[in-house]
Amino acid sequence: MRVNFRELVTRAENIVEEDYPKATWEGIVESVLRDLNPNAKILQRTSVPVELEDGTATIDIPDGIYEILAVSFQPTGKRSMMLRRLSAYDTASVGWHQDMFTITVQNLKQDEGNVDIDHYANLTMTEEGTEQVFNLPEKYHEVLLKGVLAMTMQKEEELDRKQDFYQEYMMAKQVMMAERVKEVEPWNMQNMGQGGK
């Protein structure tokens, strides 16, 4: 079920019988997208051109990055090299380290090139033509709907109904996490109690 924002809201309004302003729905959807970030594991590569000074460059972490997985450096006109992640205290080794807002590559022998950041992307809602769409894979749009319903139902006075929506969302979220880990981090399956199967 691929849905855009308008379709998602229409379905949610019909199910929970609530009619909120668009801004309220946007806030609800964005909250659910943030909640789903750890489960989604949307792999992307972001490339940033840099000029190095004494083999070092510090760049602001680009928007849209949820978790950095690896950093490599491609000198202009040469092959890319994977860099080792370092502690912030290691100033002697070749590699990279991260603080809250920046990535520093250090002790490289080049003057310029591209820093390639392999990462999981934040889930977002963006404009595409006249519609607002999600970068969440289509097969998980139903999970997004369940999250929106669960969040919308928090004000529901009927406890059983509220808990049903929440439990459905939590179960769908767990299934999504297992599927995404199996797809992009198969080595972590045993950590999820799946025994690597």
Q: Which residues contact 156 (CB under 8 A, 6 or more apart)?
A: 16, 162, 165
pLDDT, tens digit, for every residue of 86-124? 998 999 999 999 999 999 999 999 999 999 999 999 999
- Of 19-33, 139-153, 175-189, which range is least confident? 175-189
- For residue 117, CA distances in Å to 10, 53, 185 come to 37, 20, 17
Dihedral sign of CA atoms 34, 38, 44, 49 in order: positive
* Cβ pair 124, 135 in contact under 8 A: yes
pTM equals 0.83
Classify the phi-psi angles of 39: left when phi > 0, otherwise alpha if psi is within -120 to 50, otherwise beta.
alpha
State the pLDDT confidence band at 161, using cuts at 50, 70 and 90. confident
Reduced 3-state DSSP string for 41-107 = CCEEEEEEEEECECCEEEEECCCCEEEEEEEEEEECCCCCEEECECCCCCCCCCEEEECCCEEEEEC
| 55, two tokens | 């083999």
Give the pLDDT confidence score for residue 186 in this predicted structure: 86
Is the pLDDT assigned to residue 194 strictly greater than 70? no
pLDDT score at 196: 42
Say how many C-beta atoms besides its own lie within 10 A of residue 160's C-beta: 7
Cα 125 from Cα 134, distance rounded (Å): 5
pLDDT score of 29 more than 70: yes
- For residue 55, pLDDT over 50 is answered with yes
Here the tokens at position 108 are: 């490289």
Q: Is residue 114 within a helix (H) or strand (E), and if so which, with residue range? A: strand 112-121
